[in-house]
Structure 1
Amino acid sequence: MASSPTGADGPEREVLDAEDARYRAMLAADTAALGALLDEQLTYTHSSGTRDTRESLLRKIADGALVYREIAHPVDQVAIVGDTAVVAGKMIGSVVLDGAPLQLDNSTLSVWVRQQGTWRLLGFQPTPLGARKPE
């Protein structure tokens, strides 16, 4: 679950809840739930530098090419301006990418937009804090 540096309420709580739901869906490989949280114009960058669209990310998860095994995602800051939210935090965990297990230790930036009252992920950018290495 996302942990906020302060007691969150209102729009900040909504964004943190959306972050939690996104990570739960990724761990469960629930592409229907995940797809509902992703903006049609999503740019999802991986710590390797490769990028996915909404469609290609969902396909990788559905096909098992990308399997999230465990994830912690502490949140350092949430900034909301109008209908845009930027979440700064970390993503620590393990994944299997094309059959190869990897450990992740990333600083992350997530950009959420509110459309018709619903927060959707528009952009994700991780920055490795250490060298990526096989398990």
Structure 2
Amino acid sequence: MRTQLLTVCLAMFALTAFGQKELLDAEKYRFEVMAKKDTKTLETILADDLMYTHSHGGVDGKAKIIESVAAGTYKNVEILEQNPISWGNTGVISGKARFLIGDPKGDRTIILKYTDVYRKEKGTWKLAAWQSLLVTE
């Protein structure tokens, strides 16, 4: 009985760890896609009901974020910290990243702490919610 329980616990840990790696890979890929202005791919990895809350408090949906990416707003993203949690088809990442933002007045670098929520749909992790806070180093 103890052996069976240990086997089940180890299997659950392995699945959780695999899910978290998959989640982190999805996040990294999303940041890369945004920096490349690849709106076609972005369309497939953002949830249709995306709620994207910016550090300034504004909230955008999927169409507005894709429009912003197409305009070159997100030039580069450097991940500084990530803490993932996943439960089946839902994942949350608490993180910190340095963003190079394209701005008509001149590019600028900002550091954001963020929490985002992913939902797995038909085998693909899709960003469903984002909320960030502007911080200093």
Q: Which whole-Å CA distance do the structure 2 matches of 1:25 and 1:53 have between them?
A: 17
Q: Look up the SS of the partner of 1:10 in the other structure.
A: helix
Match of 1:44 in 2: 52
| CA contact 2:81–2:97 (8 Å) conserved in 1 | no
Runs of at least 5 residues in structure 2 that lack an aligned partner in the other structure: 1-15
Letter in 2 for 1:42: L
Q: Tell me by how many angstroms 1:67 deviates.
A: 2.0
| CA contact 1:75–1:87 (8 Å) conserved in 2 | no
| CA contact 1:44–1:123 (8 Å) conserved in 2 | yes
Q: Tell me by how many angstroms 1:82 deviates.
A: 2.5
Identity %: 26
Q: 2:120 aligns with which of 110, 114, 126?
A: 114
Runs of at least 5 residues in structure 1 that lack an aligned partner in the other structure: 1-7, 131-135
Match of 1:104 in 2: 110
Q: Which whole-Å CA distance do the structure 2 matches of 1:128 and 1:71 have between them?
A: 14
Match of 2:35 in 1: 27
Q: What do residues 29-50 of structure 1 show as CA deviations (whole Å, max 9, x unaligned)?
A: 1001111110000011222221
* Root mean square deviation, CA, Å: 1.9
Q: Which whole-Å CA distance do the structure 2 matches of 1:58 and 1:27 have between them?
A: 12
Provide TM-score, normalisation by structure 1.
0.81
1:54 aligns with 2:62: yes
Q: Look up the SS of the partner of 2:24 in the other structure.
A: helix
1:77 aligns with 2:51: no
Q: Look up the SS of the partner of 1:49 in the other structure.
A: coil
Matches within 5 A, 1:116-135: 116-130=122-136
Match of 1:11 in 2: 19
Q: Which whole-Å CA distance do the structure 1 matches of 2:42 and 2:36 have between them?
A: 10
- Rg comparison, structure with higher value: 2
Q: Tell me by how many angstroms 1:117 deviates.
A: 1.7
Question: Quick check: which one's helix share is greater?
Answer: 2
Q: What do residues 89-116 of structure 1 show as CA deviations (whole Å, max 9, x unaligned)?
A: 112122024x133321111111001112
